[in-house]
Amino acid sequence: MKNYFSSNFKLGVLGGGQLGRMLLTETQKLDIYTVILDSNNEAPCAQICNEFHQGDLLDFDTVYNFGKKVDVLTIEIENVNIDALDKLEAEGHTIYPKPENLRTIQNKARQKVFYHDHNIPTADFSRFASLEELKHSIDNGAVNFPFVWKSARFGYDGNGVKIVKSITDLNNLPTDECIAEKLIPFKNELAVIVARNTNGEVKTYPVVEMEFHPEANQVEYVICPARIEESVAKKAREIALKVADIFDFVGLLAVEMFQTENDDILVNEVAPRTHNSGHYSIEASYTNQFEQHLRSILNLPLGNTDSKLAGIMVNLVGAEGHTGEVVYKNIEEILKIDGVTPHLYGKKTTKPFRKMGHVTIVNTDINEARKVAQQVKETIQVIAK
Amino acid sequence: MKNYFSSNFKLGVLGGGQLGRMLLTETQKLDIYTVILDSNNEAPCAQICNEFHQGDLLDFDTVYNFGKKVDVLTIEIENVNIDALDKLEAEGHTIYPKPENLRTIQNKARQKVFYHDHNIPTADFSRFASLEELKHSIDNGAVNFPFVWKSARFGYDGNGVKIVKSITDLNNLPTDECIAEKLIPFKNELAVIVARNTNGEVKTYPVVEMEFHPEANQVEYVICPARIEESVAKKAREIALKVADIFDFVGLLAVEMFQTENDDILVNEVAPRTHNSGHYSIEASYTNQFEQHLRSILNLPLGNTDSKLAGIMVNLVGAEGHTGEVVYKNIEEILKIDGVTPHLYGKKTTKPFRKMGHVTIVNTDINEARKVAQQVKETIQVIAK
């Protein structure tokens, strides 16, 4: 084994946002020298990594030159220059997740084709080179309303996804490559994080459930374990494992899925990295997802993915109507509650819906945790000064 | 409440060792801007704090000038220039723990007198201005062998403490102020960490037990909860609370105690800060001691001190006969075991008995945790390259 700890080994990370920041907690715990590349020199990682480089993650030369300076290269965001990663890999550099996996996942159309080609259950879809092409298909009856439009590139957190009920819903959408996906009525949106190292050792975290706000179409709570039947959970873990195996994936793969009305599991999309749906693991799991990511990409033995306690995560997003220097209103109120841990991402300014942090609630009783989560949600507010 | 989070607020910490490093994990989690002072620019905190200042913690001007630059000043080591803290406090600066508490605790003779004056149970002792004075008292029969010699100043981790069985044991000891303490045969060495904020809100962590190596007089395991009777644990927590109350303490106070053959509890000594005996809390407690320290000194509500699981901590100290660039031999072996988390302190070179890190073992069953702890202890080795 290479000596990663308190040594001259350098881990490089493309991206310096909150996922990188929580990864740094783990590289600090294990004393792994970590170098971060991000375009923003006020990124959440900038001040607390061993070395920070400012540069564009989508620029070939920037990514290529950064990659040459480190021993193992990883990502905390998938929108990076893959051509540079291909060249680095061809030259013998170690990069996990693998560039070819990132290339497939980065483009949602390609990702859907991949599922189709490998018999992974997913919603039916059609692929279009442009919005114009999609409109033609609607005109000639090949695509019917309602459907889900998804931009092939650079969507995240619900950006780049829209339920289209009539032709006017297509107004003002990006004009480039997209897919039209069958709208699936689902009981639950679930996620499973799979960890896999270069030896092929593999573990899945428990199935988590995204609970949506009854009116706004927004995830309010990530709940672990999901309140679903054991048979459904088993199926979800098996499908997630299958996806990771087919990718021959190394690292963490977050597999988002729908549980249909008939208890079928359909893969919605995957993220090739640590994921919002795994943040609960910092407080609730034996091995949190960030430590597990390190174990995976450094080919260390994987840690126990079981939970110590039930865990629920609440995202802290900027309140509507508030832009400016951030204040976490009533944070002292939530600190009074047992088992509540806020994580603030180090962003100095808030704007509506910006992800500013999250709060984890742990409890021996998941129903109690759910009540506390609601109390937290109703108490803390991310506002401007 | 002051806005500590993602704001212009600056927390200053005297000392940049491993305790500071683990505190930084928590200041990062809550995005509290943290400035560190340490004499060593390769200290564990140096690269990962928001601002690092190099300087002597015992130098008046250095500490005074540092203190003027921050909003709240705290410590991670008690051997600092207290005169500077007194002046800062007199000028209205906020310093926790309070300088007067540090002054009492920094000197073991003064600490013992404090216990005596406030009816805190502690082993009988005599105080001497010099080793020469102690020798006179032995000569004239006022002090009898065996006894425990303790240096009044700057002892830590067993340095500055010696069991004296004959006059020759005094050879080569420091010649300055010391105490001679009655040698107490004890069943157990216990510790309780008390957290107290400026509102006087107070919580105690569960009693932990230090298990010693059967031959070498060295703590091998810190075990939480201590395997003692509930009545003894209750007494230990009450005495620890009493000490914190009499000090009118703000911050974390680690109270080390002896459980005598008769199940009496005697206070051995206290540390006015986060403590080795609380490291288990990172993985095992609802609120770890480092987050709790922040809550205490910033007058935030205190967190739940209960444990999620049983926890055992094993110190990682440099192996005998090894000096140089550190290697954690067999670390991959211990990573295979469920519930095992290594913490490496970021020190590049090892030497015999240097504290290089620790490993936490958590388990639902304390006896199982104890077995795993032994396996960890017998597997990992801190050696030079």
How does residue A1 score in pLDDT terms, banded at 50, 70 and 90? low
Which pLDDT score is estimated for B79?
92
Question: pLDDT tens for residues A328-383?
Answer: 999 999 999 999 999 999 999 999 999 999 999 999 999 999 999 999 999 999 99
Question: pLDDT tens for residues B365-377?
Answer: 999 999 999 999 9
Contact A50 B48 (CB under 8 A): yes
Contact B338 A304 (CB under 8 A): yes
CA closest to A18 among chain B residues: B29
B342 interaction partners in chain A (CB closer than 8 Å): 29-30
- Is A312:A221 a contact under the CB 8 Å cutoff? yes
Residues A48, A51: Cα–Cα separation, whole Å: 8
Q: How many residues does chain B have?
A: 385
Which pLDDT score is estimated for A212?
86
Which pLDDT score is estimated for B1?
64
Question: pLDDT tens for residues A353-363?
Answer: 999 999 999 99
Contact B346 A29 (CB under 8 A): no
Instruction: Give the N- to C-terminal CA distance of chain B in Å, as an integer.
Output: 50
Average pLDDT rounded to a whole number, residues A230-248: 98
How does residue A218 score in pLDDT terms, banded at 50, 70 and 90? confident
Contact B29 A25 (CB under 8 A): yes
Question: What's the whole-number average pLDDT of chain A?
Answer: 96
Average pLDDT rounded to a whole number, residues A297-313: 98
- Per CATH, is A124-182 categorized as 3.30.1490.20? yes
- Per CATH, is A10-95 categorized as 3.80.10.10? no
Preferred mutation among A6, A18, A198 to probe B, highest tally of B CBs within 10 A: A6
Domains B10-95 and B124-182 share a fold: no
> With 90 as the cut, is the pLDDT of residue A155 above it?
no
**Tokens (6 digits) for A243:** 């996806």
Contacts of A335-340 with CB under 8 Å at 24 or more apart are A335/B295, A335/B300, A335/B301, A335/B303, A336/B301, A337/A361, A337/A372, A337/A375, A337/A376, A338/B286, A338/B303, A338/B304, A338/B306, A339/A309, A339/A363, A339/A369, A339/A372, A339/B286, A339/B304, A340/A372, A340/A376
Residues B203, A318: Cα–Cα separation, whole Å: 33
- Which pTM value belongs to this model? 0.96
Contact A338 B3 (CB under 8 A): no
Tokens 């927590």: give the residue. Answer: B237
Preferred mutation among A8, A48, A285 to probe B, highest tally of B CBs within 10 A: A48
A5 interaction partners in chain B (CB closer than 8 Å): 328, 331, 344
CATH number of B185-215+225-306: 3.30.470.20
Contact A362 B286 (CB under 8 A): yes
Query: Within its chain, how far is the Cα of B303 from the centroid?
Result: 20
**Total Cβ atoms within 10 A of residue A224:** 27
Contact A303 B335 (CB under 8 A): yes
CATH number of A309-385: 3.30.470.20
**Tokens (6 digits) for A46:** 């900038």
Average pLDDT rounded to a whole number, residues A266-271: 97
Closest partner residue to A344 (CB to CB) among B31, B48, B286 is: B31
Tokens 């410590």: give the residue. Answer: B75
Contact A21 B28 (CB under 8 A): yes
Using alpha carbons, select from B352, B349, B355 the residue that is nearest to residue B320. B352
How does residue A214 score in pLDDT terms, banded at 50, 70 and 90? confident
Question: pLDDT tens for residues B6-50?
Answer: 999 999 999 999 999 999 999 999 999 999 999 999 999 999 999
Average pLDDT rounded to a whole number, residues A275-287: 98
Give the three-state DSSP class for A236: helix
Contact B308 A362 (CB under 8 A): yes
Buried (b) or exposed (e) across A72-107, using 16+ Cβ within 10 A? bbbbbbbbbbbebbbbbbeeebbbbbbbebbbbbbb
Question: pLDDT tens for residues A122-151?
Answer: 999 999 999 999 999 999 999 999 999 999
| DSSP per-residue codes, B103-125 | HHHHBHHHHHHHHHHTT--B--E
Q: What is the CA radius of gyration of chain A?
A: 21
Domain ranges (residues) in chain B: 10-95, 124-182, 185-215+225-306, 309-385
Preferred mutation among A1, A3, A31 to probe B, highest tally of B CBs within 10 A: A31
How does residue A158 score in pLDDT terms, banded at 50, 70 and 90? low
- Using 70 as the pLDDT threshold, list the residues of chain B that sit under it: 1, 154-158, 216-217
Residues B374, A56: Cα–Cα separation, whole Å: 49
For A371, the enclosing helix (H) or strand (E) is helix A366-379
- Is B10:B67 a contact under the CB 8 Å cutoff? no
Which ranges in chain B belong to alpha helices (H)?
Answer: 18-29, 60-68, 82-90, 99-106, 108-117, 131-139, 230-247, 281-284, 289-297, 331-335, 366-379
Pairs across A and B, CB distance < 8 A:
107
**Tokens (6 digits) for B130:** 């010099």
- Is A10:B324 a contact under the CB 8 Å cutoff? no
Which pLDDT score is estimated for A164?
95
For A53, phi and psi rounded to 5 degrees?
Answer: -120, 135
Which pLDDT score is estimated for B60?
98
**Total Cβ atoms within 10 A of residue A382:** 26
DSSP A349: E
> With 60 as the cut, is the pLDDT of residue A156 above it?
no
